[in-house]
Structure 1
């Protein structure tokens, strides 16, 4: 059974760490769009509160299970909303893409959930060295971001998604590109 509302567009922003996804999500929020935040920061901060500095590095499968659950919950919440468009800062397939990047085995249900919960469109943010930064929750270097991006592209492509590449540009230009892509059909 696929949980997909034909009227509602579920739009995912993907790309390696530090490519501008969250900045654009924040801009979309300012414009009045409903957006689901990146779950991994929440999971990472909760683990730090519990005394685990880098949960993904110490227990990658547990971290990924928590992410998968969080992203599934976001999807279900979005389905219940009376919104025509819901944007997601990363989607369910990101979880197994990262697991593949780190060469960590995971149960089959990670892929099954990717097939069960479908998104309408996927906007891809390519690695962009000029804007890449690290912080307490994003520790990946630019080189790592480029490698992770390859796994993300593969994960979504393998599931049959057509990725729409967001060009480099100002926050306004990138946001308008996405919004124009939604209305140009």
Structure 2
């Protein structure tokens, strides 16, 4: 779907803050599946957490991402996803070797332009939902910089500028 725009990249690179600014400007946004799953699992004592059962977590992220796509407002001009199906499939494939990326990644498409937040050590922080360190976040980022082009997407690495400038940069890139 041309109107489904992925914002992905390095954990702790400012994706959630960026999506909040897009939302403030009136754009439709979909929050990161992983953060929603972690909040739900922590609230009910679940085990589908990246630091407890990473495979179960990745499988849940795929389910949530598919549900997000199915319920996204088809009438919105742009819908910005904080991560999504490709990221979840890449994680599962990395963990298990299960070949889901090519199948699901080719079946469920997003806008050709994918916006990646690069590693940004100066703003990186852990919290209750992000317990991994910067090195692990960078390794994931490097995987994603290969995964997206392998599926025919064009990567646009976001500059390390203010949130407002990043949003303006994305909108200009999309010719909004």
Same fold (TM over 0.5): yes
Q: Deviations over 1:136-180 (max 9, x none)?
A: 001121222111100111111211111011111011111110011
Distance change in 2, residues 1:129/1:106 (3 Å):
same
Matched, 1:119 2:113: no
Residues 103-112 or 165-174, more deviating: 103-112
Q: Deviations over 1:58-89 (max 9, x none)?
A: 222221111001101111222x5211111000
After the TM superposition, which segments of 4 or more aligned residues of structure 1 sit over 3 Å from their partners? 106-111
| Aligned residue in 2 for 1:81 | 74
Shift of residue 57 of structure 1?
A: 2.8
Aligned equivalents of 1:131, 1:53: Cα separation in 2: 29
| Aligned residue in 2 for 1:138 | 130
Distance change in 2, residues 1:99/1:107 (3 Å):
closer
| Aligned residue in 2 for 1:47 | 41
Q: Deviations over 1:33-71 (max 9, x none)?
A: 000100111111221123246722322222111100110
| Aligned residue in 1 for 2:154 | 162
Pairs within 5 Å for 1:11-160: 11-52=5-46, 55-78=49-72, 80-100=73-93, 103-105=94-96, 107-120=98-111, 121-160=113-152
Q: Deviations over 1:96-133 (max 9, x none)?
A: 32235xx4215434531111110112101100111111
- Cα RMSD, aligned residues only: 1.8
Aligned equivalents of 2:37, 2:48: Cα separation in 1: 10
Mind listing any 5+ residue stretches in structure 2 that lack a counterpart?
none
Mind listing any 5+ residue stretches in structure 1 that lack a counterpart?
none
Determine helix, strand or coil for the equivalent of 1:56: coil
Aligned pair count?
175
Taking structure 2 as the reference length, what is the TM-score of the superposition? 0.91
